[in-house]
Amino acid sequence: MAIVQVSRITNRKGLQENLPQLAGAELGWAVDSQRLYIGNGTLQEGAPVVGNTEILTENSDIAVLSNYTYADTVVGYAAQTGPTATDPVVRTLQAKLDDQASIRDFGAVGDGVTDDTAAINRALYQLYCRENNSEIRRSLFFPAGTYLVTDTIVIPTYAKLVGEGANHSTIYMSGGSASVLAQYGDSRQQTGVNIGTNSATPPRNIEISSMTFQSDEDISLFLVNRAQQCWFHSVNFVGSITTARLENADVTPLPDIAAVGFASTTTLVTQDITFDCCSFENITYGIATGAELMGITVSNSNFNYLYQGIVLGVDSGTGPTGFRTVHNMFNNIYAEAIDYGEAGLNVSAYNVFYNVGYNISTGTPLSPIISFGNDNNVSVNDLFERSDSDAYIMPRVRILSSVATSGGVQSQMGRLFQGNGKTFTLLNNQSSYQPIFYVNNDDVKAFQMFYTITRGSAVRNGIMTVVSGPADSVGDLATSDDYTENTFTGVVLNVTQSGSQVQMQYTTSSTGLSGTLTYSITHLA
C-alpha cells in the first residue's frame, strides 16, 4: 500500500475503563490491566470499522483470537489442513480448547486441602453420562496436584482419565465414611446392584493412566465392578498400612482391605481387565477377590509392602479364571506373594520374588511364596531369591493339586515333585554328621534321592528312599539306601527327623580327598 502520511506517533495512558476512542495509529496503554491498544482510524481513511484494536502482549486475553488453524510451522512450512492450500480448515478457538477437558475446568483445585469430590464426580457425569453421545466424550486431564476427596469417586462407562504421571496427579482420600476410594459405574454413574438398570450401559472401555489413588484411611482403594475391556496403565495404588503395622500383623490383625477388588454377577462377569506398569503398596492385599472373573492381566507391575500380593478365592460359582500374573516384581510381602486358593485356570509366569513369606523381617521363611489350592494353575519360570536351604524349610511353591514349573529348580505335577540335579561337596574327614538338605514333613511325607558320589576313583550310585513319621513320632522314620559302588567311598548317608524337619546328613572317612555328591529329589507323597 502507499504511504499517505508520516507523523509522530502519539500515545495515551490511563485506566482500562477510561480508554477513549483513539485517533488513527494512536497508541493507548491501560496501566491497570497492562493491555495495549491502537486506534483504527476513520472509515474515510479505509478502516473497516471505527474503534480500537488490541495489540497482543503477554497480558492479553487469548480469547480475542476468534479462529484457529493448525499450522505446525516448526517443520519449516505451514501444514495444509484443507483440500487446498488456500482453503484451510478454520475452527473456533473455543472448539480447539474443548478438544481436551481439564478437571480444573469443573472446579477441582488439586491443592490437597480443598475437597474436590463434587467437582470430580460432576466432571465425570457431564462428560460421560449426561448424554449418550460419543462426540461429547473427552479425555479428562488431571494436572499435577493432589485432589482431596472425602467420598467415593464413580468412574463411568467410556471414561478416560489421564494424569501427568503416577505420584504427580493423585486422587487422595482423607476423612469421610466411604468404604472405597474409587469404583466403576455404568453410563448413568450407577453402582452396585443398580449397574445396568434404567437402560444404562455397564462399565466398559474405561482407561486410566499416569495417576495415583491413595488413602490415609483403612479402606480399599478401587473396585472393578461388572466391567469389560478396561485398562490401567502407570497407575499407583497406595494404602494406609505402615511398615510397622505390617511387621506386627501376627499380633494386631490388619483390616480386610485391598488396593484393587473385583465384583461380578452371573450375567455381568468382569473380564478383559489389564493392569500394566502399575504399583500396589502399603495395604493388606494388592489384589484380592473371589468373584467370577475372566481374562485379567497384571503385568510389568510392582507389589511392595503388603500382607499378601494377589489372593484369589471362590465366593460362589467358578471364581476367577484366566488370571495372568506375568513379568512383575514382589518384595516385602509378609506372607504369600501369590495365593490362587480354590481358583483354577490361572497362571504365574516370569515374575521375580525377593523378600516374600518371611513376615517382612523374621529371617526364617514362614509362608510359601506361591500357593495353589486347586487344579489347573501353573507357575512358569518364576524366579525366587529364597535359598535352597530356606526352600527345604518352607517351599517356594506349594502346590496341592496343580501343574507347575518353578523358577528353573523344580517341576511339579500335582503332588509329584521332581527337583533339578544339584551338586554338593562332601568334605574330607567329617566324623560327625553334616547337613546336606532339609525337607519339611508338613509338605513331604516321602521322597527319594537319586544320587552319585565320586571321591577320587571311587564312584557310588544309588537311590535312597525316605518315609518320614508324624512330627510328634519321629521313631516312625524309615529309610533304605540301595546303591552300587566300584570301591569303598568312605561316605555314610543318614537321615534324621526333628519335629517336622527331615534332614539328610553325611560323614566321611579321612582319605585326604573330599567327595562330590550329585543328586536330585523326587517327592512321592
Strands (E), 216-278: 220-225, 228-238, 258-263, 270-276
Residue 5: what are its φ and ψ, rounded to 5°?
Answer: -155, 135
Q: How far apart are CA 109 and CA 89, in angstroms?
A: 35
Report pLDDT for 241: 98
Residue 71 backbone class (left: φ over 0; alpha: ψ -120 to 50; beta: rest): alpha
pLDDT tens, 298-352? 999 999 999 999 999 987 778 999 999 999 999 999 999 999 998 989 999 999 9
pLDDT at 1: 42
What pLDDT shows up at residue 403?
A: 58
- Spatial separation of the C-alpha atoms in residues 373 and 399, rounded to whole Å: 7
Instruction: Write out the three cell numbers for 3.
Output: 504511504
The region of weakest confidence among 179-183, 255-259, 348-352, 469-473 is 469-473
Most confident of 74-78, 370-374, 459-463, 498-502: 459-463
Choose among 460, 450, 348, 458: nearest CA to 396. 348
| pTM of the predicted model as reported, rounded to 2 decimal places | 0.80
Sign of CA dihedral 255, 261, 266, 267: positive
Residue 74's pLDDT is: 61
Q: Which residues contact 434 (CB under 8 A, 6 or more apart)?
A: 427, 505, 506, 507
**C-alpha–C-alpha distance, residues 204 and 226, integer Å:** 9
